[in-house]
Chain A
Amino acid sequence: MARPCLAGRSAAIREGEGAEDEPVAMDCKEFQLFVQAYVDGEFEATDAAAMDAHVEVCEGCRAEAEEHARFVQFVKANYEPEPVPEGLRRRIVEVLEAQDAMELAAGRAVATEPSAVPDALASARAGRWRRLEWVIGPALATAAAVLLVLLAVRPFEAPVVSPSAMSTAAMAGSGGGSEVDARTPIVEEAVTWHRRNLPIEVAGPSNAQVGRWFDGKVNFPVRLPEFEERAPGQVQLLGARLSNVRERQAAYVVYEVDGRKMSVMAFDGKDIAMPKPDQGEPIYFENASGYNVAVVEDNGITYSITSELPRKDMAELVQAAFKPR
């Protein structure tokens, strides 16, 4: 862009030095084009020399250059950037720890011999993270590295599933049942999130700790369902992350039940139509793309629970966790 032209001018200045017919080597018009870049120190010495020479002799352009510089200085001097909050700094360290743990789990999943991870840190975490392997992906054993990269590419955007893709998936999942996809959007989103194996942002197994992590991050109180009450040890809280349902903030929580993944999304269900349970059923259930999805409203918060568990097992779990209070 500017450089060759300016360099050319530099040469012209040298040649024209002292020439009567060219008192101003670079004309104002040219100077004006580059005054901002000049002031911002974007020119190399040779190019800047031509500009320097011009401001030496042209008062108007000098004034303009000074005005540019003055204004930028003024804005800079009056801008006091806020430092990163300590809480965020801490949280970032936690998130990176969780990410490391996931990668460790992934590493173990591909390792063929158990002796591949005798490292102190790895074994210290093994108990806690052993179960995370499928959070990263069921296909991990075959293509862990590739999958990790794929997962990491766009980990934060809300899942986008085209209606046609969803219908196809529904047909495949339900064995090609109905023509009309009557699924509720909440259920669709629950399944989409469930299927994506996004990294968690806070690790379990403490219900209270995970619940507290959401304080100030979502605009509703996050009360995690008490699955453990009924069957201690059967349900493991693995971790949670922020998500969204219908453009609302949501808490996305991942559990492991009998070796299978179960996810819960909690969000403020105000003004979202709740699907009605079948007659005689206490809880709304829907089979979507092969997953069982329950939708429950409790104390103003809507929960969608998704898993591959048999419906009967899931119904028991959900009913126990959301028993009327």
Chain B
Amino acid sequence: MTSTTDTTIQDKKAAFREEALVHLDPLFGVALRLTKNERDAEDLVQDTILKAYTHFAKYERGTNCKAWLFKILTNTFINRYRKQSKERLYLVDDREYRPLAERAVAPGINPLETPSEGEQAWYRKLFGDDVKAALEEIPEDFRMVVLLADLYDFSYKETADIMGCPIGTVMSRLYRGRRLLAARLADYALERGIISYDPRVEVVNEDGEVENVIEFKRRRRKRA
């Protein structure tokens, strides 16, 4: 008679390697953007994997393992790292939320005005860091949604499941998150014609309220 315990463990390990360990790269990428430093990111990923491993029996084989892992990662991050984080942001209402940082100074002007094709790779590397920095500057709730939906290709539904919030919340956070990101990348994005309105510019609307130019434009168009 052989040990069932050991056979079970070997099976479990093989399945875990196949289904879960293949997602280490994206888990680490998101962990790094959330914790903003390599050491915490490594701890977060390690904690996530160990939790997943001990709970692997509860995971239904063949379902969305990646989303399941990201749910564990997100919860672990919120429970462990956000608690001790100095950056405390309480969001009252996504719609009304207007962080001061949104109106803060623009990112530094890129020294490379018009790169040639040959410079693209280098340029992207240089600018890629700006994208990362911009992401890390926006509040966590928005950052998570942008990361999951825009950069790690999760659907709204999967993102909502991972974050444990309604799809509507994902949509509004994604909208705000992209705006916040655009504000930080405005110089480059405007110059390249990626966006047509400067998201940092504010206008006074018909009701005398200060409003972001994009919101203003949207409302005008909605009314039209």
A-B contacts, 13 listed (Cβ < 8 Å): A32-B221, A37-B171, A40-B149, A72-B178, A74-B185, A75-B131, A75-B178, A80-B125, A88-B28, A118-B2, A156-B50, A157-B79, A217-B39
Docked-complex contact B42 and A74, CB < 8 angstroms = no
Give me the 10 closest cross-chain CB pairs, A-B, nearest first.
A107-B5, A81-B29, A152-B54, A84-B28, A119-B3, A84-B24, A29-B222, A78-B131, A119-B6, A117-B3
Among B124, B168, B224, which residue has its beta carbon within 8 angstroms of that of A78? B124
Which stretch from A93-101, A180-188, A256-264, A306-314 is at the chain B interface?
Answer: A93-101
CA distance A67 to B80 in the complex (A): 37
Interface members, chain B 56-84 (any A CB < 8 Å): 76, 79-80, 84
Chain A, residues 44-66, CB within 8 Å of chain B (1/0): the string is 00000000000000001101100
Find chain A residues with CB under 8 A from B1 CB: 115-116, 118
| Interface residues of B, dominant DSSP | helix
Docked-complex contact B6 and A117, CB < 8 angstroms = yes
A104 at the binding interface (Cβ < 8 Å)? yes
Find chain A residues with CB under 8 A from B5 CB: 103-104, 107-108, 111, 116-117, 122
Chain A, residues 11-48, CB within 8 Å of chain B (1/0): the string is 00000000000000000110010001100101000000
A231 at the binding interface (Cβ < 8 Å)? no
Among B7, B167, B181, which residue has its beta carbon within 8 angstroms of that of A75? B181
**B54, closest chain A residue (CB):** A152
Q: Which residues of B contact A (CB under 8 A)?
A: 1-3, 5-7, 9-10, 13, 16, 21, 24-29, 32, 38-39, 42-43, 45-47, 49-51, 53-55, 76, 79-80, 84, 124-125, 127-128, 130-132, 135, 146, 149-151, 155-156, 167-168, 171, 174-175, 178, 181-182, 185, 189, 192, 194-196, 218, 221-224
Find chain B residues with CB under 8 A from A104 CB: 5-6, 9
User: Min CB distance, B133 to chain A, in Å?
Assistant: 11
Among A71, A92, A242, which residue has its beta carbon within 8 angstroms of that of B21? A92
Inter-chain pairs besides A76-B150, A76-B151, A107-B5, 20 sampled, C-beta below 8 Å: A28-B224, A32-B221, A36-B171, A71-B195, A79-B135, A84-B24, A92-B50, A96-B13, A96-B16, A100-B9, A103-B5, A107-B3, A108-B5, A111-B5, A115-B1, A118-B3, A121-B10, A152-B55, A156-B76, A199-B54
Find chain A residues with CB under 8 A from B10 CB: 121
User: Min CB distance, B155 to chain A, in Å?
Assistant: 7
Find chain B residues with CB under 8 A from A117 CB: 3, 5-6
Chain A, residues 101-128, CB within 8 Å of chain B (1/0): the string is 0011001100100011111011000000
**B150, closest chain A residue (CB):** A72
A163 at the binding interface (Cβ < 8 Å)? no
**B152, closest chain A residue (CB):** A81
CA distance A92 to B69 in the complex (A): 15
**A96, closest chain B residue (CB):** B53
User: Do A103 and B194 form a contact, CB below 8 Å, given A28-B221, A37-B171, A84-B25?
Assistant: no
Find chain B residues with CB under 8 A from A108 CB: 5
Docked-complex contact B54 and A71, CB < 8 angstroms = no
CA distance A83 to B175 in the complex (A): 28
Docked-complex contact A89 and B9, CB < 8 angstroms = no
Docked-complex contact A84 and B13, CB < 8 angstroms = no
Docked-complex contact A89 and B24, CB < 8 angstroms = yes
User: Do A78 and B189 form a contact, CB below 8 Å, given A84-B24, A103-B5?
Assistant: no
CA distance A111 to B2 in the complex (A): 12
A230 at the binding interface (Cβ < 8 Å)? no
**B57, closest chain A residue (CB):** A149
A91 at the binding interface (Cβ < 8 Å)? yes
**A29, closest chain B residue (CB):** B222
CA distance A40 to B9 in the complex (A): 41
User: Do A74 and B53 form a contact, CB below 8 Å, given A103-B9, A121-B6?
Assistant: no
Find chain B residues with CB under 8 A from A91 CB: 42, 46
Docked-complex contact B150 and A28, CB < 8 angstroms = no
Find chain B residues with CB under 8 A from A32 CB: 218, 221-222
Find chain A residues with CB under 8 A from B222 CB: 28-29, 32
User: Do A83 and B131 form a contact, CB below 8 Å, given A1-B167, A92-B46, A157-B80?
Assistant: no
Find chain B residues with CB under 8 A from A87 CB: 42
User: Min CB distance, B42 to chain A, in Å?
Assistant: 5
